[in-house]
Amino acid sequence: MSPAELDELRQQVRNLADRVARLEAGLAKPPDTAPTLAESKCPIVPASLVQPPYASLAVEPEGLPRTAEARDASPTPVPVSPPLLPVLGAATLGLAGAYLLRAVAESGVLPPRLIFGAGTLYAVAWLLAAARPRAERRIVTILYSLTAAMILSPLVWEATARFHMISPGQAGVILVAFTLIGLAVSWRQNLVAVATLSILASIGTAGALLISTYDALPCTFVFLAIAAAVETCACLDRWLGERWLAAATADLSVLLATWLVTNPRGLPESYAPIPAAGLFAAQMALLVIYLASVISRTLLRGRTFTNFETVQCALAFLIGLGGAIRLASEGSHLTPAVAGFALLCGAACYAVAFKVLARHGLHGRNFYTYSTFGILLVLIGCRMLLDDQAAALAWSLLALACIGAGGFWGRFTLEVHGGIYLLLALLLSGALHQAATNLLGTGFGLESIPPALWGGAAAAGGCYLLAVWSARSADGGWNFHAFRVGMAAVLVWLVLGLSAGSLTGLYHGAFSLAAGDSYCATLRTGAIVGVTLLLAYASSRFGFRDLAQLVYPLMILGGYRLLADDLHQDRKTALFLSLLLYGAALMALPRLRRPHATSLP
């Protein structure tokens, strides 16, 4: 350095020293204060009462305790984030250490497995270091966690997919252990960055291994293990925001494995074999993980179902149970196990909803979620285990049981479930379709009426009578009335089908005429008119007030039959009889609907 430059540097140092001195002098100067009350000329208040002792001192005298106000007024230290460049430098040195281990492995001085173990421990050390800084040094936590992830992920991927030092199963164990360590070290200070980055690193590495090794099952169990660890933390109210990531990867991995095994073309040749038992275990594990989590959070800890939990439980049942059903279609020995599991879960959901939650008066979101899962699982289990007719019979019995139990214990939701069971049973058995054919189509003959229609009418009649009986102890709200009207509508529809089929069958048997004869149309219209008059009479004389709601809809149905069928018949005598019956019914209805003393609600 030249003398001129040295002199200029000295002058700059002097200038800086002068500036610092002036700043210190300005800070040391006491601020201007306004005159106190004691300095004023007010003769009333003494100066000793206005200005306390030691008020003019900058610090408190020794031996006097500080008051709470003084302690609160003392300035608190403001956390200052560490400089970014040194932290980046430390992270860069961490990556340099990883490349040094890579160079030692390529040189062949040490065994590759030893270098791999050292690299794994090196990544874990950086993850442990990420949890050591204080809460205000979050940038250090994030960068150190990112360094650990950047060290471990390429190391495990290369050791598995490139050098084949470890199997995909062993790599999965390492990734799950890395995630558990990340969750454990971040637990005390609730370091979300450490937990999130460790989860992302493990999930991303497992996904890359699935793509590169075509071994789906070990990677699927990695995703499931991570999901189980995250749900365990969620049961303790930690890291609830990270649940969707683990759940999405678990769902997709099980769905992919199921599709690979059950698709029509079979497992692609490039993929490793997937045993049926292993896939079934993965499907059931997905169900168990989220069922256990939901039960723990909603029952043991009293939490309410979140949107995530409702959707994820539905997806777990759809993917896990649906995949097991597809898998069972190839091996029938799995069908009873899957059906039994569904029925067991459905019964458990019913017990939770109606024995635990309803008993304590909890009819909120948890109650309706559990009860909905209960009916869905019972329907799936019965459909898997039984054929059409047996399932229809089982659902009819469940309908009678639910409506009877709902009326006995005052559980209206259980009665609604009974109505759903009844409708599905009638649809599955074909009773509703057969009634429509007899009433609006060309079905005829007593011998052509299937037993399912007779059984469906009997089940519908029993359900309606149970619903009427349960109304005696109910509050008589609009929902109870609407339910009874719905049950009455189902029963009346089946009775109309039976009546039309029976009348046309008797006519056909007596005169040996074709089913499309004009008088058959008249008999079907007459069945509607006769049932309508019977409903009007029963609603006014015996107190079945909900039947009265069906009188005019049935007359509209009769009018539709007149226009759509009877008017197009060849024999005008048959049309005359149809119009006569319909007109007479219109005239008689007001008289039949006059109110009388009733005995039923």
Q: Residue 461: inside a domain, yes or no?
A: yes
What pLDDT digit, counting tens, does each position of 416-475 carry?
A: 999 999 999 999 999 999 898 888 876 555 556 778 889 999 999 999 999 888 766 555
Mean pLDDT of 171-181: 95
Residue 347, class by beta-carbon neighbours within 10 Å (0-12 exposed, 13-18 middle, 19+ buried)?
middle
pLDDT band at 415, cuts 50/70/90?
very high
Q: Name residues whose C-beta falls within 8 Å of residue 102's C-beta, 6 or more positions apart in sequence.
A: 115, 119
Residue 166 vs residue 519, higher pLDDT: 166
Question: Quick check: 63 pLDDT over 80?
Answer: no
Contacts 24+ apart (CB under 8 A), 207-210: 207/249, 208/153, 208/157, 208/161, 209/156, 209/157, 209/160, 209/161, 209/168, 209/171, 209/172, 210/253
Question: Residues 276, 345: contact at Cβ < 8 Å?
Answer: no
Cα separation, 496 vs 265, whole angstroms? 49
Number of folded domains in the chain?
A: 1
Which pLDDT does position 589 carry in this prediction? 86
Q: Name residues whose C-beta falls within 8 Å of residue 158's C-beta, 6 or more positions apart in sequence.
A: none
Question: Residues 113, 138: contact at Cβ < 8 Å?
Answer: no
Q: From the CB of residue 412, how many other CB atoms can be counted at a distance below 10 Å? A: 17
- Of 580, 527, 537, 528, residue with least CA distance to 555: 528
Cα separation, 320 vs 254, whole angstroms? 8
Question: What is the token pair recorded at 44?
Answer: 């009333």
Which pLDDT does position 493 carry in this prediction? 94
Which pLDDT does position 372 carry in this prediction? 93
Question: Quick check: 523 pLDDT over 50?
Answer: yes
Cα separation, 565 vs 571, whole angstroms? 12
Mean pLDDT of 493-511: 83
Residue 190 vs residue 313, higher pLDDT: 313
pLDDT band at 65, cuts 50/70/90?
very low
Mean pLDDT of 252-264: 93
Residue count of the chain? 601
C-alpha distances out from residue 48 to 41, 54, 390, 535, Å: 14, 11, 100, 100
Q: Residue 584: inside a domain, yes or no?
A: yes
- Of 436, 468, 459, residue with least CA distance to 557: 436
Q: Maximum CA pair distance of the chain?
A: 136
Q: Residue 118: inside a domain, yes or no?
A: no
What pLDDT digit, counting tens, does each position of 539-563 carry?
A: 877 667 778 889 889 999 989 888 8
Mapped onto helix, strand or coil, the DSSP state of residue 333 is: helix
Mean pLDDT of 160-173: 92
Say which range, 367-371, 554-558, 567-571, has the weakest mean pLDDT.
567-571
For residue 545, the one-letter residue type is R
Question: Residues 431, 452: contact at Cβ < 8 Å?
Answer: yes
Helical H segments across 186-275, by residue range:
192-213, 216-235, 243-262
For residue 1, the one-letter residue type is M
Q: From the CB of residue 288, how many other CB atoms can be counted at a distance below 10 Å? A: 15
What pLDDT digit, counting tens, does each position of 585-598 carry?
A: 888 888 877 655 44
Question: What is the token pair recorded at 364?
Answer: 């909120």
What dihedral angle (degrees, nearest 10) is formed by the CA atoms of 285, 286, 287, 291? 100
Which pLDDT does position 327 carry in this prediction? 85
Mean pLDDT of 385-402: 94
Q: Residue 296: inside a domain, yes or no?
A: no
pLDDT band at 69, cuts 50/70/90?
very low
Q: Residue 252: inside a domain, yes or no?
A: no
Q: What is the pTM of this model?
A: 0.73
Q: Residue 50: inside a domain, yes or no?
A: no
Question: Quick check: 535 pLDDT over 70?
Answer: yes
Percent of the chain at pLDDT > 70 equals: 80
Q: Name residues whose C-beta falls within 8 Å of residue 438's C-beta, 6 or more positions apart in sequence.
A: 444, 449, 453, 497, 498, 500, 501, 504, 524
Cα separation, 166 vs 164, whole angstroms? 5
Residue 461 lies in domain: 432-592
Half-sphere exposure of 178 (CA within 13 A, CB side): 36
Q: From the CB of residue 128, how many other CB atoms can be counted at a distance below 10 Å? A: 16
Residue 206 vs residue 41, higher pLDDT: 206
Mean pLDDT of 45-65: 41
Q: Name residues whose C-beta falls within 8 Å of residue 251's C-beta, 6 or more positions apart in sequence.
A: 286, 312, 315, 316, 319
Which pLDDT does position 255 carry in this prediction? 95
Query: Which stretches of 383-441 are assigned E, i.e. beta strand?
Result: none
- Of 457, 459, 484, 482, residue with least CA distance to 470: 484
Highest mean pLDDT among 97-101, 155-159, 502-506: 155-159
Residue 17, class by beta-carbon neighbours within 10 Å (0-12 exposed, 13-18 middle, 19+ buried)?
exposed
Q: Residue 166: inside a domain, yes or no?
A: no
Q: Residue 414: inside a domain, yes or no?
A: no
Mean pLDDT of 117-146: 82
Cα separation, 430 vs 426, whole angstroms? 6
Q: Name residues whose C-beta falls within 8 Å of residue 84's C-beta, 6 or more positions apart in sequence.
A: 139
Evaluated on CA atoms 513, 519, 521, 522, the torsion sign reads negative
Residue 527 vs residue 89, higher pLDDT: 527
Question: Residues 395, 422: contact at Cβ < 8 Å?
Answer: yes
According to DSSP, residue 363 is labeled -
Question: What is the token pair recorded at 368?
Answer: 């309706």
